Amino acid sequence: MSQSNASIFATAARIGLLSAVLSLACLQVAVADDEDVITYRQLIMKQLDSESAALGMIVSGQIPPDSLALQAKATANSARSALKAFEPKVLGGESKPEVWSKWADFSKRMEVFAKNTAEMAKVSETGNVAKVTELMIDALPCKECHDLYRTKKK
């Protein structure tokens, strides 16, 4: 395929994708279906997993701290998205039913998580790796919450 054909093809593909996305947006109702809700919250948790692992590599000194603030902010953003993602009461995925039967406790933990990561993100702007490391311990209580609210992986 020549360069210009390839370019026309790429443009056509983009227009096709845009049309498809816009059609979907028009056809869908505002309420997400159950499978989408589960897929979406799993994406948010995956994103948190990568973000906190990358942040861990920075604070442990494996990677120079150029992106300290970007990664800390990413984690804080996702913590905020995570609470939203669990609001629809849709059982399934790796979530235990206790997420919703003990919603007061679960949502409080998620609020604290969002608040502490936001605090950590704020401090990260100063470039103080040691302080971010210290805050990170409390800001990322992943295991505690997973032990209570996530089914064990097979």
Written as one letter, the residue type at 128 is N
- The pair phi, psi for residue 41, each rounded to 5°, is -70, -30
53 near a second copy, rule: CB under 8 A: yes
Cβ-based neighbours of 91, under 8 Å, separated by 6 or more: 97, 100
Q: Could you tell me if 109 and 86 are in contact, meaning their C-beta atoms sit under 8 angstroms apart?
A: no
Minimum gap (Å) between residue 138 Cβ and a second copy: 8
* CA distance to 50, 109, 115, 130, 141, per residue, from 54 (Å): 6, 23, 20, 16, 16
Rule CB under 8 A: choose which of 66, 98, 111, 125 binds a second copy: 66
Q: Scan residues 102-131 and list those touching a second copy (CB under 8 A).
A: 129-130
Closer residue to a second copy, CB minimum distance, 31 or 104:
31
85 near a second copy, rule: CB under 8 A: yes
- For 39, what's the count of Cα atoms within 13 Å in the CB-facing half-sphere? 5
* Neighbouring-strand partners of residue 95: 92, 150
Rule CB under 8 A: choose which of 4, 30, 104, 153 binds a second copy: 30
98 near a second copy, rule: CB under 8 A: no
Positions in the binding site for a second copy (CB under 8 A): 10, 14, 17-18, 21-22, 24-33, 36-37, 39-40, 43-44, 46-47, 50-51, 53-54, 56-57, 59-64, 66-67, 70-71, 73-74, 77-78, 80-81, 84-85, 129-130, 133-134, 136-138, 144
